[in-house]
Chains A and B, each alone.
Chain A
Amino acid sequence: MTLVREGDPEAFGVVYDRHSTVAFSLAYRITGTRNVAEDVVQEAFLSLWRSSARYDAQRGSVRTWVLGIVHNRAIDVLRRSLVHERRRASDEGIEERFESGERVDAEVARRDEAREVRSAIETLPVEQSKVIELSYFGGFSHSEIASMLDAPIGTIKGRMRLGLEKMRMHLAHQMEAD
């Protein structure tokens, strides 16, 4: 990131290669449309290039920073649309496909991490995983979710917190086991 900050385009290329697949996956998952996901990822990486001076390693990894930008922009796009009406990525028959040049070891590590997170989500009661999914991937506010599920806002907030806390404990145990 130091080189990116100094305006080195090739360093930017390395950062892009390392994080673009997970960034695109997230954008696609949220927006449900490839073209829109492309726009989101473009904006996010250009923002990274142009504001790399604001990156603070003490506040998280580059991946966390990139994904934070992607998530915010994708949710903005979603909320700007008139309705939360979009196809789920899974409905479009999305298939896993990787760049042939992608580093295998890095990809394996990412898959392992994704598996652990997925496993943590699977430990949650469905009412907790649902509110987490609706908010993080769906861009719905807690009051919108409360209306959708016909439950008090306080209950929705409680489910979110309980769900995240259980996930945290599950992931911590997995790290210890590793």
Chain B
Amino acid sequence: MGCEHTIDVSSYLLGALPEDEVPRFAAHVEGCERCRREMVALGPVVDSLALVAPRAAPPPELRERLMHVVRGEAQLLAAAGASADEVGPPTAARRSWRLGGLRLTPMPVALAASVVLAVGIAGALVLSGGGDDGGSPARTVAARVLLPAAPEARASLVLDGADARLQVSELPPPPGGKVYQVWLKRPSGSPQPTTSLFRVDDGRASVPVPGDLRGVEEVLVTAEPDGGSLAPTSDPVIVARPA
């Protein structure tokens, strides 16, 4: 049995389908045996086209910069524990940003698309909302922003079951070359690093707080060098008490 869309498989594989047609075509292929067979046959051919590009070696500095970031994140993960990268589902499209000369796509940071949500919550003291999953209702806890020079800055912690998210608005950017990092502090012991590193977009950010918040006394935010730190190198600018 033929399919009138099989002719489009080549365009799809080559990236030549108009963007607005791609989702519909991808959905079609899922259910069309003939188009799937065409994909399987021609996919490797398209993949092989990359090999005919004139060979050019990347600069050695690129490897160094990447390894610096990768090693830093691996250290953070190890220090933060096995659950450190367990974050709730993203609520907004991720966007790339520049960090120490590297254009990064931060793992847990969701920015611009959650602006409306952040604005809606900004300035609230203690709010509550109903979870729609039948479990405990979500809670929003106001956080203290310790930046006298930015009296308009607001921050809050949204707790929804096992997920937690820090929302900020009107927060000034971190000092040059630095990023904000989220920490978890328990009553005994020093703040534990998390992999949440973020910058603000027009003063706003919505950041998942990874890890297990049980027993956490305070969620802190400090400004840290690129790639984050294993121990805070500056005083907290935000303090939230989840309990």
Chain A interface size band reads 35 or more
Q: Are B103 and A64 in contact (CB under 8 A)?
A: no
On whether the beta carbons of A9 and B62 are closer than 8 Å, the reply is: no
- Among the stretches B4-12, B120-128, B214-222, the one at the interface with A is B4-12
In angstroms, how far is the closest chain A Cβ from the Cβ of B164?
20
Residue pair B45, A26 in contact (C-beta under 8 Å):
no
The size class of the interface chain B forms with chain A is 35 or more
Give the complex CA separation of A7 and B73 in angstroms: 9
Contact stretch, chosen from B14-22, B165-173, B198-206, B228-236: B14-22
Check A125 for interface membership: any CB of B closer than 8 A. Answer: no
Given A64-B47, A98-B55, A145-B16, answer yes or no on A9-B74 (Cβ-Cβ < 8 Å). Answer: yes
Taking the complex as formed, is A81 at the interface, i.e. its CB lies under 8 A from any CB of chain B?
no
Q: Name A114's contact: one of B8, B52, B71, B104 (CB within 8 Å).
A: B52
Q: Collect the chain B residues with CB atoms within 8 Å of residue A64's CB.
A: 44, 47
Contacts of B29 in A (CB 8 A): none
Contact of B69 among A7, A46, A96, A136 (CB under 8 A): A46
Chain B residues within an 8 Å CB radius of A137: 49, 53
Q: Is the interface of B mostly helix, strand, loop or mixed?
A: helix
Contact B65 A42 (CB under 8 A): yes
Contact A49 B13 (CB under 8 A): no
Which of A7, A45, A121, A135 has a CB less than 8 Å from the CB of B11? Answer: A135
Q: A21–B52 contact, CB under 8 A?
A: no
- Contact between chains at A97 and B49 (CB < 8 Å): no
B48 within 8 A of A: yes
Bound: A143/B50 CA distance, A: 23
* Interface membership of A1, Cβ < 8 A: no
Asked whether any CB of chain A lies closer than 8 Å to the CB of B46, the reply is: yes
Taking a contact as CB atoms closer than 8 A, the residue among B15, B49, B74 that contacts A8 in the complex is: B74
Q: Which residues of A contact B78 (CB under 8 A)?
A: 7
Interface string of A142-168 (1 = CB under 8 A from B): 110100000000100110110111011
**Known: A46-B105, A118-B52. Contact between A142 and B58, CB under 8 A?**
no
Using known A-B contacts A42-B62, A50-B105, determine if residue A25 contacts B55 with beta carbons closer than 8 Å: yes
Q: With A118-B52, A136-B14, A164-B45 as known contacts, state yes or no: A157 contacts B8, CB within 8 Å.
A: yes
Per the bound structure, the CA–CA distance linking A117 and B232 in Å amounts to 53
The verdict on A25 contacting B45 (CB below 8 Å), with A110-B51, A158-B7, A164-B13 known, is no
User: Are A46 and B42 in contact, with the CB atoms below 8 A?
Assistant: no
Given known contacts A141-B17, A160-B14, is B56 in contact with A25 (CB within 8 Å)? yes
Q: Are A114 and B14 neighbours in the complex by a CB distance under 8 Å?
A: no
Q: Is B63 an interface residue (CB 8 A)?
A: yes
| Smallest CB separation, B90 vs chain A (Å) | 12
A142 touches B56 (CB 8 A): no
> Which B residues form the contact surface with A (CB < 8 A)?
7-11, 13-18, 41-42, 44-60, 62-63, 65-67, 69-71, 73-74, 77-78, 96, 102-105, 107
Q: A8-B74, A28-B54, A42-B66 are in contact. List 9 more A-B contacts (CB 8 A).
A: A13-B70, A43-B96, A46-B70, A67-B47, A75-B15, A135-B15, A141-B18, A142-B18, A168-B41
Interface residues of A, Cβ cutoff 8 Å to B: 7-9, 12-13, 16-17, 20-26, 28-30, 34, 37-39, 41-43, 45-47, 49-50, 60, 64, 67-68, 70-72, 75, 89-90, 94, 96-99, 110, 113-114, 117-118, 120-121, 132, 135-137, 139-143, 145, 154, 157-158, 160-161, 163-165, 167-168, 171
